[in-house]
Structure 1
Amino acid sequence: MNVPKTCRAVRAKSDAFAKPVMLAKKTKPLMYTGQAAVKANAAPGSHQVVVGGIGCGKWVAKGTFTVPAAPNSKVVKGTVTSKAGLFVRRQPTSNSPATGTYRYRQTIALVCKKAGQPVAGNRTWYRVNVPKGWVTARYVKAQGFVPNCK
């Protein structure tokens, strides 16, 4: 990753990292590299990384990385049953901001489930990773057993 030469240090952060990572400077070509410890409970899928320089003004870069699914975990597919489509929410409640949408009859990957705000009498919400968030189980037909979120 290219950064200004005036940075004293560069640090990367992500919700999936166990802690922020200080990146080491490589000079040819000028770039910073490092390795991050990923949380054991980090959800499989895409996560945002924010990189900022220390001592070089307000320099910030953003990127993404992917946490692979555990080899023994099985992704459960689901089908959207709402003809109007389905919002992906930041939290398991319909009052939470939307992070994306799915179309009617779209097949989606369900990571896990937990109780949330009831929707038409159904309190179950499924966690999804693309886009990251939650969908109500009221409008998704799971094609297998979806485990509880840890």
Structure 2
Amino acid sequence: MNKSVLMCALAAGLALGPLGGAGWAAQQHGAAPAAAAPRAAYPVGEVVSDAPLHVRERATVYSPVVKSLRPGQRVLLHCQKRGGWVDGNPVWYRLQGSKGWVSARFVHDHQPVRAC
């Protein structure tokens, strides 16, 4: 792509803003803004281990196991915090509706997870 064409496209994108040609000025005075897309109350995480994943009482591998999750299982993540390191990752997720913690090393978060 020609550099000048790319620069023109970027400039047009900046001038139009995130709403394109409709822009902020196109919204009628007093009109209600478009409703935001609904989002889940808690972020979803997916177990990415090959074996059952231990849910621990506290955010460390030395804590007692309270239950296990299946590979591929989806769970709701309440919050995250730093804990014991697991394969170079110190982040742990608190599960929603459970008093347990799982290592982020083995759970892929599909949305951002707030800090505890």
Decide: shared fold, TM above 0.5.
yes
Divergent runs of 4+, >6 A: none
Shift of 1:74: 2.2
Rounded to whole Å, the distance in 2 between the matches of 1:137 and 1:148 is 13
Rounded to whole Å, the distance in 2 between the matches of 1:87 and 1:131 is 13
Unmatched 5+ stretches in structure 1: 1-71
Q: Deviations over 1:89-132 (max 9, x none)?
A: 00000000001010000000100000000000000000013442
RMSD of aligned Cα (Å):
1.6
Letter of the 1:92 counterpart: A
8 Å CA contact retained: 1:88, 1:102: yes
Alignment of 1:88 with 2:62, yes or no, is no
Q: Percent identity?
A: 40
Shift of 1:85: 1.7
More strand by share: 1
1:108 is matched with which residue?
75
Shift of the 101–131 alpha-carbon distance from structure 1 to 2, 3 Å rule, reads farther
Rounded to whole Å, the distance in 2 between the matches of 1:128 and 1:79 is 12
TM-score by length of 1: 0.50
TM-score by length of 2: 0.64
Alignment of 1:147 with 2:83, yes or no, is no
Rounded to whole Å, the distance in 1 between the matches of 2:97 and 2:114 is 18
How many residue pairs get matched? 78
8 Å CA contact retained: 1:100, 1:131: no
Q: Deviations over 1:11-67 (max 9, x none)?
A: xxxxxxxxxxxxxxxxxxxxxxxxxxxxxxxxxxxxxxxxxxxxxxxxxxxxxxxxx
Q: Which has the higher contact order (CA 8 A, sep 6+)?
A: 2
1:111 counterpart SS class: strand
